Amino acid sequence: MKKINKAKETMTARERVERTFAFEKTDRVTIGYETNGVIHAKLCAELGVRPDDKRSLDDALGVDYAGINAPYTGKNPYPEKPDRRVDILEGCYMRWVPNQSGGYWDFCDFPLKDADDEMFETYPIPDPDDFDYDAALAQAKALSERYALHVGNPGVPDVINSNGRIMGMEDVLVHLLTEDEAAMDFMRRRAGSQLEVMYRTIEKCKDHLSFVWLGEDLGTQLTPMISLDLYRSVMKPIHKQFIDLANSYGLPVMIHTCGCSSWVYEDFIEMGVRGVDSLQPEAANMSPQYLVDHFAGRLTLRGLISTAGPLAYGTAAEVDEYCRKTLQICMPHRGYHFAPSHAIQDNSPVENVIAMYQAAHKYGVYE
C-alpha cells in the first residue's frame, strides 16, 4: 500500500480556495482531482481506499473541492433504446465502446441532427421545479467543514459541447455561425433552465459556497474553434447571465476551457470571471509561462498538469520534475490551483499519478 506524504496544513480547504481566488498567500496550493473510472479504481487500490469512498481518497490526496447539486426528481422524458444509455437531463445517447482497459461510453445517435423547427421546439428540457434543492442544502451542510464547495461544473452551460452531444458538433457549429432561429432558441432555453436551477441552488446554499464552476470548450489544440466576433455576438450573452448571477452573490467564477482558449480570456475578465480551468499546456498559447505572462493577478489558473505528457508516457521521476517546474512558474504569482489538465486517463501508470500528487505536497508549499 502506498501513501502520499502530505504537506503541513494551517488552513481549511475553504480558506485555501477562497484565498487562492483572491490571489492571497496560502499554506499550499489548492489540489484538484479528476480521472476516468479505470485509473480511479487502480489508484484507490494502490492507496488502500474503496473506489466509492470519496472522502478517504480526497483526504489521502489533499483534494480541496466538492460540488453541490440539486438532484433531478422528474421523469425521464426521452425514449429508451436498446444498447444505449440516455442522459435524462440532456437527452443525449451513449453506446459502450470496449477497449483494452475495459471501455467507455461514447456519444451517438444525436436525436436533433438535421432537426427541423418543430423538433427543436418540442424537444424536452428539464423543468427547474423538478429538482430537490433541499437535498442540495443537506449536501452542503454535510460537506462544508471539509471542502470548499461549488455549484455548477465544466458542463454548464457548455453551449458547444452539450448541444453537440444532442445534435452533433457539425450541426451546432453551423447553427451558431448562421444564428439559426429555432436552434438558437433551443440552446437559449436549455441554458435558461440551467441558469434557473443554478439560481435556486445558490439561493438555498449560499452560506456554504466558495465559487461557481462553469464550462465552455472553445479551442482545438492549435486554433480557436470559433471567431472572437462570433463568440461575442452569440455565446458571450449566454455566459454573461451565469457570471452575473454568481457575481451578484459575491461568488468568484471559474470557467473550464479545453484547447486553445486564451484568445477569449480578456472577455472573460471583462465579464468578471476570476479563474480558468483545464488549461492544456500543449495547446497554442496555453503554456504555464504564456498564461502567467498575460494573466497573472487577473485570472487564477487551474490545471496545466498535462494528461498527455509525462503523466501518461514518462516515469515517476519525470512527472515529479514536470510538476516541480509548473509549480515554480505559477506559484510566485499566487492564484494557482494544482490539477490535471483534464480527467486523468487509464493510460497513465498509477505510480505516475501518485508522483503527481506527491509533487503537489512536496513543491506546492508557500514559505
State the pLDDT at residue 99.
86
State the pLDDT at residue 243.
98
State the pLDDT at residue 189.
98
State the pLDDT at residue 82.
96
State the pLDDT at residue 238.
98
Which uninterrupted H or E stretch holds 366? Answer: none
State the pLDDT at residue 367.
86
State the pLDDT at residue 103.
86
Residue 84, in any domain of the structure: no
Measured in whole angstroms, how far is the alpha carbon of residue 323 from the centre of its chain?
20
Where are any strands of DSSP class E within 239-322?
A: 253-257, 275-278, 300-305
Residue 7, in any domain of the structure: no
Number of domains in the chain: 1
Amino acid residing at 194: Q
Residue 274, in any domain of the structure: yes
Grid coordinates of 158: 457548455
Range of the domain at 307: 13-75+113-363
Residue 154, in any domain of the structure: yes
Which uninterrupted H or E stretch holds 122? Answer: helix 117-122
State the pLDDT at residue 337.
98
Residue 31, in any domain of the structure: yes
Residue 354, in any domain of the structure: yes
Structural contact between residues 50 and 56, judged by C-beta atoms closer than 8 angstroms: yes
Residue ranges in the chain whose pLDDT is less than 70: none
Rg of the chain, C-alpha, whole Å: 20
Residue 227, in any domain of the structure: yes
State the pLDDT at residue 175.
98
Distance CA 84, CA 76 (A): 14
Residue 120, in any domain of the structure: yes
State the pLDDT at residue 127.
98
**pLDDT tens, residue by residue, 278-309:** 999 999 999 999 999 999 999 999 999 999 99
List the CATH number of the domain containing 17: 3.20.20.210
pTM: 0.96
Nearest residue to 147 via CA among 5, 305, 3, 11: 11
